[in-house]
Amino acid sequence: MGKRAAPPEDAHLFRQEVADAVVLPPANRADASPPRAKPVPLQRLKDEKQALIDSLADPREMLDQVGRDSIESGEELFFVRPGVPAAALRKLKRGGWVIRAELDLHGQRSDEARLALAEFLLACARRDLRCVRIIHGKGLRSKNREPVLKHKLRHWLMQREDVLAFCQARPADGGSGAAIVLLKSGGR
């Protein structure tokens, strides 16, 4: 059934009755639209779930595989903090964590690079980023063609309590010229 039009005399009577009505101001009106839901960070939730699973791994497995502190065999770079499961390092080496930020230290002097690293890691902690890439270069343009920043970066990262583990990047992520770093969660 469709709407029926009101007889003309009813419309006239209605206008007479509401002639002295005052329109309410638009202020003080409730917003009837429902609040927007916050986005769900699915990848972060997956990473956190995997970190929990990794944290339940047997710590003896970690000590058997990577020793108490760190191991650097040849030119490959990696470290895992005591108490962090070896499974977390394996996942890092395989590219199982999503890289959330990157710092490029190419061409910087040691003191500049160290300051840039400290500022970068502080910013990552504020944003609660867990996995980051640090490009240190291969040292091809340095004295004796030696990767100076690579070796210094290793020591700088090992000194930081917020660094759980790091390893040399996969070839697709920079290879021997970059490190992938796993940081503590803001909740840890």
Residue 76 burial by Cβ neighbours in a 10 Å radius (0-12, 13-18, 19+): exposed
pTM metric for this prediction: 0.59
Region 161-185 average pLDDT: 91
Confidence band (pLDDT; 50, 70, 90) for 1?
low
CB 168 within 8 A of CB 178: yes
* Distance of alpha carbon 93 from alpha carbon 172, whole angstroms: 12
Domains of the chain (ranges; CATH) run 42-183 (3.30.1370.110)
Q: How remote is the C-alpha of 81 from its chain's centroid?
A: 20
CB 99 within 8 A of CB 132: yes
Q: How far is CA 151 from CA 18, 22, 49, 52, in A?
A: 84, 78, 32, 31
The residue among 27 and 127 whose pLDDT is bigger is: 127
